[in-house]
């Protein structure tokens, strides 16, 4: 069941303006902001139930620096670019429209007429589209410790996640850069992959007696003092340089990244963020959602790293799929109510 206006492109749904004036140039059941694993998965599942879907995507996924995507069953080792192209093609095959650009602002009509659009989204500050439901899947931005040389090697041999790329550095000489309480557990996770692990206490807390005993039992060396830089040789990370000038050869360095959810439309939509705290360390602010991805703002769903930094590609795709299905069911309830009301009006005229 579809509302009449649903597929009409160029229909102005009588929205409150967001920051951009000008006509609405497209009207969709669902607009998805962010075309990574979460957003594209939601778009595909909704389109396969014949929903009109637009994905607005700026094209910079979180894992862009990585050479391959791991742990995504059936597609092991494909590059992020290859995987994104497959996702776009699969979604487009079911009629999903994809707009390259940045969603710069959003407008909300809190109580739209049944079947009408509740949201407008402005793309690149000039084009506006309208949507009955909105999915935010904008991901997050990683913040690296400010150490010369780290950024250049990020995603290659400067790593954060043992599950994403630990296997690729197995048996190598690994250094764990401590900047907070997470580092001790990261050390154990990477020790499972290599016998040669060094913890650099850097700006993190001194290891507890229990942690020192664990490190000693596992042959993990602790190097106290601040790290000044990481060095590269022949296009690979080669060593960690301490502030006192000592150079310690390493092939990979593990960091704890800070991260901030990409919040471009959060304020416009009145969404609440909450701190995510792990082991006493605030890792960033994220959108809270229910198991279907619904936020506390009616009509807005969210999925992927915007809701948690720990989600891998497969989790993000799963969250997107759950949200896509939930948005379709939510629209279906509204469409069925519209159809029943029209049916009753017709029946009343006949009787």
Ligand X SMILES: Cc1cc2nc3c(=O)[nH]c(=O)nc-3n(C[C@H](O)[C@H](O)[C@H](O)COP(=O)(O)OP(=O)(O)OC[C@H]3O[C@@H](n4cnc5c(N)ncnc54)[C@H](O)[C@@H]3O)c2cc1C
At 191, give phi and psi (nearest 5°).
Answer: -65, -25
Please tell me whether residue 102 binds ligand X under the rule CB under 6 A.
Answer: yes
Please tell me whether residue 262 binds ligand X under the rule CB under 6 A.
Answer: yes
Q: Choose one: 36-44, 112-120, 188-196, 234-242; the region binding ligand X (CB under 6 A).
A: 36-44
Q: Scanning residues 281 to 340, which ones bind ligand X (CB under 6 A)?
A: 304-305, 311-314, 316
Please tell me whether residue 169 binds ligand X under the rule CB under 6 A.
Answer: no
Burial class of 144 by CB neighbour count within 10 A (0 to 12, 13 to 18, 19+): middle
* Cβ(272)–Cβ(296) below 8 Å: yes
Residue 72 to residue 74: CA distance in whole angstroms: 6
Q: Choose one: 45-53, 70-78, 230-238, 279-287; the region binding ligand X (CB under 6 A).
A: 70-78
- Count residues near ligand X (CB under 6 A): 39
Please tell me whether residue 69 binds ligand X under the rule CB under 6 A.
Answer: yes
Please tell me whether residue 60 binds ligand X under the rule CB under 6 A.
Answer: yes
- If residue 42 lies in a helix (H) or strand (E), which one and from where to where? helix 37-47
Strands 127-136 and 300-302: parallel
Q: Choose one: 59-67, 88-96, 228-236, 243-251; the region binding ligand X (CB under 6 A).
A: 59-67
Please tell me whether residue 142 binds ligand X under the rule CB under 6 A.
Answer: yes
* Cβ(24)–Cβ(120) below 8 Å: yes
Instruction: List the one residue from 11, 62, 118, 250 that touches ligand X (CB under 6 A).
Output: 62
- If residue 335 lies in a helix (H) or strand (E), which one and from where to where? helix 313-350
Q: Which residue has the tokens 């936020």?
A: 295
Please tell me whether residue 147 binds ligand X under the rule CB under 6 A.
Answer: no
Residue 165 to residue 70: CA distance in whole angstroms: 7
Please tell me whether residue 264 binds ligand X under the rule CB under 6 A.
Answer: yes
Please tell me whether residue 70 binds ligand X under the rule CB under 6 A.
Answer: yes
Please tell me whether residue 105 binds ligand X under the rule CB under 6 A.
Answer: no
DSSP 313: H
Please tell me whether residue 56 binds ligand X under the rule CB under 6 A.
Answer: yes
- DSSP 3-state assignment of 119? strand
* Interface ranges with ligand X (CB under 6 A): 33-39, 56-63, 65-66, 69-72, 102-103, 137-139, 142, 155, 164-165, 262, 264, 304-305, 311-314, 316
């Amino acid at each position: 069941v579809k509302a009449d206006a649903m597929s009409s492109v160029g229909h102005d749904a009588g929205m409150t303006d967001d920051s951009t004036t000008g006509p609405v140039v497209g009207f969709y059941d669902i607009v998805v902001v962010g075309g990574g694993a979460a957003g594209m998965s939601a778009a595909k599942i909704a389109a396969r139930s014949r929903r009109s879907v637009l994905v607005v995507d700026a094209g910079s996924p979180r894992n862009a620096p990585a050479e391959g995507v791991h742990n995504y069953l059936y597609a092991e080792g494909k590059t992020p670019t290859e995987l994104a192209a497959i996702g776009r093609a699969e979604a487009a095959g079911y009629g999903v429209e994809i707009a390259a650009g940045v969603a710069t602002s959003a407008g909300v009509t809190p109580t739209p007429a049944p079947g009408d659009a509740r949201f407008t989204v402005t793309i690149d500050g000039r084009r506006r589209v309208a949507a009955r439901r909105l999915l935010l899947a904008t991901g997050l931005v990683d913040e690296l410790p400010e150490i010369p040389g780290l950024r250049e090697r990020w995603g290659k041999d400067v790593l954060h996640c043992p599950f994403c790329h630990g296997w690729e550095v197995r048996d190598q000489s690994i250094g764990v850069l401590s900047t907070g309480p997470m580092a001790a557990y990261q050390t154990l996770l990477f020790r499972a992959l290599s016998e040669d692990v060094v913890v650099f206490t850097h700006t993190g807390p001194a290891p507890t007696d229990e942690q020192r005993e664990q490190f000693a039992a596992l042959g993990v060396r602790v190097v106290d003092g601040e790290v000044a830089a990481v060095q590269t040789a022949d296009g690979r990370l080669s060593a960690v340089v301490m502030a006192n000038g000592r150079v310690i050869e390493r092939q990979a360095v593990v960091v704890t990244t800070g991260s901030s959810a990409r919040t471009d439309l959060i304020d416009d939509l009145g969404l609440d963020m909450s701190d995510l705290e792990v082991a006493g360390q605030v890792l960033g602010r994220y959108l809270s959602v229910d198991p279907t991805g619904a936020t506390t703002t009616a009509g807005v769903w969210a999925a992927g790293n915007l809701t948690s930094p720990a989600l891998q590609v497969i989790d993000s795709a799963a969250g997107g799929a759950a949200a896509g299905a939930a948005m379709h069911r939510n629209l279906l309830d509204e469409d069925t109510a519209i159809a029943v009301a029209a049916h009753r009006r017709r029946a009343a005229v006949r009787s």
